Structure 1
């Protein structure tokens, strides 16, 4: 970065605003969102659904297609000056930038958006103003924690996790919260947790220890939303199993952000973490925060539900196949630093 874009720290002016999913499993997604997780669902037409958590008209956009994956993550930038800084950084890095069409903006409930490549083929979209609604929420949850910290977080695996960290540090001034070293389903992982505001992390990036492989088919391994009460969390756990969706990890508590959560599998194959009561990095904590390394992802719980040999074989196949693909979002002057 050079000039004005290098001198301004945009940390705190960025939050995760929405996620776009492409899927052909609309009936399953509607049951999963409304009946299991407990979200507000709006069916716009046979090819479009939106899910709400709060007064934003769109937090999840489901579009019909064959990818069965998250295709874009939308990041809300707090003001126009910060937006211009972020956009200039992307231009300086040489990434192609396109403006969203009026129809794309309307579907996402934003005034305007710009799109550029993100890690793992997931587009990064940035916008400054979301459409809000006073229409009452029709959902089974009593509420979700959103506000200035955004709607939740994304977790992904990467062949070159240090470059993914550099991407988010260079675009959004993401800060390192901590690391976790863990063996999950037989895979040795080092996970980096990155924050862009007071949420402990808005992005988690995992890499296989010593191996430039990605065992996950989808662009993200999981996404997280946070409910306002423990009763909400436990009731949703029961609904997920009652409605026949696969539970991946039972209720447990994470070692680093202390969030209680469970993980279930979405109709498109990536996981959904529903959590409650993680730590918040207040300005007082921010002033003295120092990253540390944890040797386990959980203090207790998060036990795998139903070990799947087929799943591990599929992960091996995806890992080998990942060697044949470069990530165009990471071929930038940002390099491997930060």
Structure 2
């Protein structure tokens, strides 16, 4: 971590937190293995008949897929650079009355970390923090040449919410997140405002789409999508072609975003949330950080990202699920979600 991003004298932890791993619960482990290894091009380890792990780099685990009924993203693991920063985060959580629980040694081993603590997060996605990941010298066995992780973490998580200001407040309270920008996207005549939050040099580690204006949250899963970054344009395009050839559902074709300028496509994972495979987004260097101005971009894409339409049966299934979502309250953590002031909804 560069000195610029080190926690400052005010106790900020910005720059010392990085998206480390994702935990998914699914009954479709065979599909996940084929999706991860053969379509996306990840390294896959079959730990047991009930556990898969995907690697992107020398970390033991970046995706943990465990057998279970949820078909959803269950937890996000955040790598914290040092024990001082870790203690600051723990203090913030405990002082606001939110319980923390230590993960068992078995849970830590499955995630490829030495020790972890967890606490409640927005949309019911558990937040897990750790300081020491376990690495391996075992060579990567995967189709793609590599993935970009490092200081920016492994990618980002995007969610929909009826309480976007609360979620902004949550990540500001816990990780000193900074607002990168907004996107206004028009969907069927309704303007959907999306906010993008960074916790390090990656343009955003969390994206939150405001669905306050909708009668129902159209997304069944806790996460709308998760993102990983391919090492080369050729890797990203090859993944796109394999996803199509192997018959996995494509959500959005290749395009380029207006705000972080990332080239990417979106496909549907076996659990139903989307995976964005991207390439070459903006990195907010210390020079850019010092001069950064929050802007609102019109439309999510400069070009491309054409929606790939589902069939009639898929649409009916989505409508049925959306109706169920209308009866399901959104899980939040009010003790940590003091609304962030000074920003539009």
User: Within the alignment, does 1:72 sit opposite 2:75 as a pair?
Assistant: yes
CA contact (8 A) 1:255 1:297 kept: yes
**1:220 corresponds to:** 223
From 302, 309, 312, the counterpart of 1:299:
302
Question: Per-residue displacement from partner, 1:49-85 (whole Å, max 9, x unpaired)?
Answer: 1000000000000000010001000000111000000
User: Within the alignment, does 1:95 sit opposite 2:98 as a pair?
Assistant: yes
Normalised TM-score (structure 2):
0.92
Structure 1 residue 96: Cα displacement: 1.7
Query: Helix, strand or coil: the match of 2:335?
Result: coil
Structure 1 residue 328: Cα displacement: 4.7
Q: How many residues align?
A: 334
From 32, 37, 61, the counterpart of 1:34:
37
Structure 2 stretches of 5 or more lacking a match?
1-7
Normalised TM-score (structure 1):
0.94
CA contact (8 A) 1:117 1:328 kept: no
Structure 1 residue 329: Cα displacement: 3.6
**2:192 corresponds to:** 189
Query: Helix, strand or coil: the match of 1:267?
Result: coil
CA distance in 1, matches of 2:258, 2:337: 31
**1:275 corresponds to:** 278
User: Within the alignment, does 1:163 sit opposite 2:166 as a pair?
Assistant: yes
Query: Helix, strand or coil: the match of 1:332?
Result: helix
CA contact (8 A) 2:16 2:200 kept: yes
User: Within the alignment, does 1:242 sit opposite 2:225 as a pair?
Assistant: no
User: Within the alignment, does 1:262 sit opposite 2:265 as a pair?
Assistant: yes
CA distance in 2, matches of 1:103, 1:192: 36
Structure 1 residue 331: Cα displacement: 1.8
CA contact (8 A) 2:18 2:199 kept: yes
Structure 1 stretches of 5 or more lacking a match?
none
CA contact (8 A) 1:50 1:61 kept: yes
User: Within the alignment, does 1:81 sit opposite 2:84 as a pair?
Assistant: yes
From 133, 136, 141, the counterpart of 1:138:
141
Distance 1:287 1:313, change over 3 A: farther
Structure 1 residue 335: Cα displacement: 2.1
Q: Which moved more, 1:211-220 or 1:238-247?
A: 211-220
CA distance in 2, matches of 1:288, 1:132: 36
CA distance in 1, matches of 2:293, 2:318: 34
From 282, 290, 303, the counterpart of 2:293:
290
Distance 1:141 1:112, change over 3 A: same
Distance 1:326 1:209, change over 3 A: closer
CA distance in 1, matches of 2:228, 2:159: 15
CA distance in 2, matches of 1:170, 1:156: 18
CA distance in 2, matches of 1:160, 1:173: 18
CA distance in 1, matches of 2:111, 2:215: 34
CA contact (8 A) 1:214 1:318 kept: no
Question: Per-residue displacement from partner, 1:225-281 (whole Å, max 9, x unpaired)?
Answer: 001111111111110011110111000000000000000000000000000000100
**2:21 corresponds to:** 18
CA distance in 1, matches of 2:60, 2:72: 21
Q: Which moved more, 1:297-306 or 1:205-214?
A: 205-214
Distance 1:306 1:100, change over 3 A: same
CA distance in 1, matches of 2:234, 2:218: 34
Q: Which moved more, 1:296-305 or 1:93-102?
A: 93-102
